[in-house]
Structure 1
Amino acid sequence: MRVIPYVYIAAVYTAIYLLVRAAVSIRNKRIDWKRERLHILMYINLLVIIYFTFSPLLLDPDAVFNCRINLIPFVYLLDYENEAHMIFNVFGNILMFVPTGIILPVLYKRLDNCFKVVGTGFLMSLAIEILQLPFADRTSDVDDLIMNTLGVAIGYVLYMIVHYARNLGKQKASLSGGSRA
């Protein structure tokens, strides 16, 4: 069995990310730094998700596609060795995807409602669960899919609260500014 350190995986992804961002910047002939910061935040978010879902990455040729799949919701939550580990797993899976629910609607204007943002988060989580199938030490778990999607939904609600508060503040400012004439 071989372990591939996360640093190597992150280095490869970072190189690919930088090449793609450089190509996009060259094609656009200008750099929108606000948008670029959002891309970097999303990239960091994805690195964190990859770290917690795939690290350490164990490669065992004898166990490839020795799939462990849980399709029954919440059946394994009570099987944890201790309550603290279960709580860490549940809240970790939720919190890990909260930034996704915040960043996606800011970064991509087409993701302009809850269904689209949460659906995208669901598909991201589903992709992770499918990608875990060939690895010997990973389990594809519907609980993770549910909790990750819940995290995206919570993130989207937080985004909407901030978005609504900012718009309300702008409306109040324009109303109070207009009455001074």
Structure 2
Amino acid sequence: MYQLLVSGGVVGLFLQVVPIACLVGVIYAIYRCIRIKKQKISVKWSTEILRWLFVCYLTGLINLTLVPRNFWSNIWALIYIGYSGSQIELFNGSFNFTPVIFKIIAGELSFGSWVKTMFTGNLLMFVPMGVFLPLISAKINAKSILKIAIMAPVVIEIIQPIMGRSFDVDDLILNFIGINAGYLIAVGIKNLSCKRR
């Protein structure tokens, strides 16, 4: 299990942040239950569950994109072997302003398994954001999701080099597509739900 957690693979990175996402989810659930009980708020439980899932997802997303790359690897190393692992380095991120597709066309890079994994991961990572937002808030429409799809990836990419990660134009493009794809899925879900009523 330890080897999987610190492997740096997609599954390992996901498993690293599951505990903190669950912990924040529990804290949020307790907070909401207390608030609902005290203020006697009328709630729609399906929406509350979606909000809870969104909080868990957002916690995981923040930890996968804005926490220093080796932070959770070090935490798990400390838990399993009593050694904190490599030093966390800040302000040493890299920058990529050339989309991968141009590098592939130029013959500088092949569309191998690593590129496919990064493309798929960066796309799918933001699909839930596009799905959750319109389902938990009636205020979210195509115009607002477009703004979010631009701003959220830009803010994340600007912060990443500070946290020892990388600014990558491919991430901006794929995250943007992911959020909008998620929004289209949510619209489809809403339309199906309306037809069944």
TM-score normalised by structure 2 residue count = 0.65
Could you tell me which runs of 5 or more consecutive residues in structure 2 were left unpaired when the two chains were aligned: 1-5, 7-15, 75-85
Match of 1:125 in 2: 153
Aligned to 1:177: none
Alpha-carbon distance in 1 for matches of 2:95, 2:38: 43
Alignment map for 1:94-173 (pairs within 5 Å): 94-111=123-140, 113-136=141-164, 138-170=165-197
Aligned partners of 1:68 and 1:133 also within 8 Å: yes
- Residues 21 and 121 (structure 1 numbering): CA distance in 2 closer, same or farther, change over 3 Å? farther
Count of aligned pairs: 164
Task: Give 1:46's aligned residue.
Answer: 58
1:84 Cα deviation after fit: 0.7
- 1:72 aligns with 98
Identity fraction in percent: 27
CA contact (8 A) 2:125 2:175 kept: yes
- Kindly indicate whether the alpha-carbon contact (under 8 Å) linking 2:130 and 2:183 is maintained by their aligned counterparts in 1: yes
Which residue, 24, 29, 38 being the options, matches 2:40?
Answer: 29
Q: What's 2:114 paired with?
A: 85
Structure label with greater radius of gyration = 1
Q: Secondary structure at the match of 2:126?
A: helix
- Structure 1 unmatched runs, 5+: 171-181
How far apart in 2 are the matches of 1:17 and 1:108? 18
Given that residues 95 and 168 in structure 2 are in contact (C-alpha distance below 8 angstroms), is that contact kept between their aligned partners in structure 1?
A: yes
Q: Is the 8 A contact 2:122 2:171 kept in 1?
A: yes
Partner deviation per Cα, 1:54-85 (whole Å, 9 max, x = no partner): 45337857x53224222333368646687111
Which amino acid in structure 1 is aligned with residue 167 of structure 2? S
Rounded Cα–Cα distance in structure 1 between residues aligned with 2:18 and 2:182: 28
Q: Higher relative contact order at CA 8 Å, sep ≥6: structure 1 or structure 2?
A: 1
Check whether the contact 2:20–2:59 (CA below 8 A) recurs between aligned residues.
no
C-alpha contact (below 8 Å) 1:6/1:56 kept by paired residues: no
CA-based RMSD of the aligned residues comes to: 3.3
Change (3 A) 1:13 1:69: farther
Aligned equivalents of 1:80 and 1:31: distance in 2?
55
Contact residue 73 and residue 142 of structure 1 kept, 8 A: yes
Measure the CA separation in 2 of the matches of 1:153 and 1:25.
32
The structure-2 alpha-carbon separation of the partners of 1:11 and 1:107, relative to structure 1 and needing over 3 Å to count, comes to closer
